[in-house]
Structure 1
Amino acid sequence: MDRRREWLEVIPSDRLARVGLGIVLGLLTLAIFGPMVSPYDPVTQDLSNRLESPSLSHPLGTDQLGRDVLTRLLHGARLSFGIAVAVTSVRLVVGTAVGLVAGYAGGWVDEALMRLVDTLLAFPGIVLALVIAGILGPSLVNVMLALAVVGWASYARLVRSKVLSLREREFVTAARLLGRSRTHVVIRHLIPNVIAPVVVLATLDIGGVILGTAGLSFLGLGAQPPTPEWGTMLASGRNYLRQAWWLVNAPGICIMLAVLGFNLLGDSLRDQLSPTQSAQMEQL
């Protein structure tokens, strides 16, 4: 009950957390309901209205092919959030599983898994994702796969460090003496105690995935035109920056707000749910 109350009291007690939550919920609401309300199609071209400046009929103007920018942003928000949640979920599940096995099993299993983790962490994540996406070819699915592959190692190292400190605690020792199986110890005693830092890392990670997806799409490795993705919109609008500033500013501001919202929320969760993990999280 105390743990549940602690989780429920985090958001109301911190101003930055409320700001971050407000930004995230606002963007999520637009992503879910915006495309249903917009009267325009995100990919239908109307060359007679190309590069139209913001107006009542087109609040954020139109692009070089006459498509409504606001409509494309709303569809792009749904795509970006969906990708971020999917990639982060894969990272979390794989990394947590590896960290639990390495930390609890120890020995050569721990050594082998941690050397793999160290190898992945030796490379900048975005550079490694760029290489993987480049090898696999331009595709949104390949970008998701690349980002998932390079991101799980941070979860594994965080969970392993937590498990190493937990497996010698009295309640784990007592469970062993009572004859509980390893699976029982992991599920009933270890996983509940690693949830908080993992959730904090995942919250921070979502913003990074959104930024990484947009960056790779901007370079032509992710979503391909006419898909309304924020990074692709930035790439196609950069040639019209002087005559149609809204083509770049609109998706750029959306990316900034999304990353800012999740970072504010994640920082506040880290400080309040697991303050002792702050130093460890800084090193990941």
Structure 2
Amino acid sequence: MNTLSDPGRFESIRRSNLLTALRNNPASLAGGIVIALVTLVAIAGPVLVGDPNAGALSNRLQPPSMAHPLGTDPLGRDVLSRLVYGARITLAMAVSITLIRLIIGFVVGLLAGLFGGLVDEVLMRVVDFLLAFPGIVLALVIAGILGPSLRNVLLALVVVGWGSYARVVRSSVLSVREEPFVDAAKLAGVSRIRLVWTHFVPNVAGPVVVLSTLDLGGVVLAAAGLSFLGLGAQPPTPEWGTMVADGSDYLRSAPWLVNVPGVAIAVVVLGFNLLGDGLRDSLDTDPTRVNR
């Protein structure tokens, strides 16, 4: 049975079956473990490593060693320290962008699905306008106009990404509106607010959770890409995309400067994608199938 056909089914799965389903899916379990480890490292960063901006020119471009397990950069800074602190920035950016996208898209999609008519037409045409442009290109234009900074990258990626959430939420709301339990609740005199909270929100939550988990990987890639182009974090901020850009001039002589943050980005994106796939299978929902 699909999640949308039974009110509260998402809540019951989340409480009793979700962890079991994830344990039975080795790929999604591996993705969850990877994300948990990276999060733990990011939180414990100040305890694990030293100042990411501390360095000496006498130690510049040192290969991996006992003193510097991942080598040093052109300014003699420890790459491991910068990688760990960069994890904090990367995860914080990804979670913040995805959460803001989710909130905006959830509200817009809910309003469009519940009210329909002119409200639906106006809101969905705005969404269509945003989705008509390639997301990374539009984000590049916005960030370029606003100027290089992490805040502007966050704003640009939020603007280009909330439309997908609105489309998924609207589609789910339209499906739930046709269910018999909604008509029964209306006949029983349930208020609109309570109807939305008890019937629509739990049933819409499944596809949104899956979409947001899958979206996190894309956000990490997009933020790193914009930083690589010089539009995101500025030196000496230890952000992974900026680290790749800084090390690109030393690709032959010091390949660890590019390989280390590049592998970190790939591992985190893979972890989010595997976790999202597991959630999608566990919740029996596909957020990519939406109705226009």
TM class, shorter-chain normalised? over 0.9
Partner of residue 35, structure 1: 46
Displacement of 1:278 in angstroms is 5.9
Match runs of 1:183-262 below 5 Å:
183-262=193-272
Partner of residue 53, structure 1: 63
Displacement of 1:133 in angstroms is 0.4
Partner of residue 154, structure 1: 164
Give a deviation string over 1:16-54, Cα, whole Å, max 9, x none.
11111121112112111133221x311123111000110
Query: Could you tell me how far apart the structure 1 residues matched to 2:212 and 2:17 are?
Result: 18
User: Do residues 89 (structure 1) and 99 (structure 2) align?
Assistant: yes
AA matched with 1:26: L
Partner of residue 20, structure 1: 31
Q: TM-score, normalised by structure 2?
A: 0.93
Displacement of 1:279 in angstroms is 5.5
Query: Could you tell me how far apart the structure 2 residues matched to 1:186 and 1:149 are?
Result: 26
Displacement of 1:168 in angstroms is 1.7
Displacement of 1:185 in angstroms is 1.3
Displacement of 1:92 in angstroms is 0.6
Displacement of 1:186 in angstroms is 1.0
8 Å Cα contact 1:6-1:273 kept in structure 2: no
AA matched with 1:93: I
Query: Could you tell me how far apart the structure 2 residues matched to 1:102 and 1:279 are?
Result: 18
Query: Could you tell me how far apart the structure 1 residues matched to 2:173 and 2:127 are?
Result: 16
- Local SS of the residue matching 2:44: helix
Query: Could you tell me how far apart the structure 1 residues matched to 2:12 and 2:121 are?
Result: 36
8 Å Cα contact 2:240-2:265 kept in structure 1: yes
Number of corresponding residues: 281
Partner of residue 6, structure 1: 17
Partner of residue 280, structure 1: 289
Displacement of 1:8 in angstroms is 2.6
- Local SS of the residue matching 2:263: helix
AA matched with 1:150: V
Match runs of 1:117-136 below 5 Å:
117-136=127-146
Higher RCO, 1 or 2 (CA under 8 Å, sep at least 6)?
2
Partner of residue 104, structure 1: 114
Displacement of 1:178 in angstroms is 2.3
> Cα–Cα, structure 1 residues 158 and 112, in superposed 2: closer, same or farther, change >3 Å?
same
Partner of residue 181, structure 1: 191
8 Å Cα contact 1:10-1:273 kept in structure 2: no
Q: TM-score, normalised by structure 1?
A: 0.95
Unmatched tracts of structure 1, length 5 or more: none
Query: Could you tell me how far apart the structure 1 residues matched to 2:288 and 2:167 are?
Result: 13
Partner of residue 164, structure 1: 174
Partner of residue 143, structure 1: 153
AA matched with 1:198: V
Partner of residue 7, structure 2: none
Give a deviation string over 1:65-107, Cα, whole Å, max 9, x none.
0000000000000110011111110011110111111011100
> Cα–Cα, structure 1 residues 9 and 209, in superposed 2: closer, same or farther, change >3 Å?
same
Percentage of matched positions with identical amino acids: 59
Query: Could you tell me how far apart the structure 2 residues matched to 1:36 and 1:206 are?
Result: 26
Displacement of 1:121 in angstroms is 0.7
